[in-house]
Amino acid sequence: MNKIIIFVVAFLVLRFFFKSAKLLIKVAIMAALVILFIKFRDVLWM
């Protein structure tokens, strides 16, 4: 759980630091992959 919070904080810091469209697209893709990974982990946990 702590790693997810750290990731979110890092994402917010990066978003404020580099206000670039290309970076935001890359970050959005990364966030989508992380969400899919978490959902997949939940399925495996069951």
CA distance 40 to 33: 10
pLDDT at residue 31, as a whole number? 92
Supply the pLDDT for residue 3: 87
- pTM (2 decimals)? 0.45
46, two tokens:
């069951």
In the prediction, which pLDDT does 36 show?
A: 92
pLDDT recorded at residue 22 = 77
What's the Rg (C-alpha) of the chain? 12
pLDDT tens per residue, range 1-46: 688 888 888 888 877 776 676 777 888 899 999 999 988 888 887 6
d(CA 24, CA 12): 11
Residue in 29, 39, 40 with CA at minimum distance from that of residue 21: 29
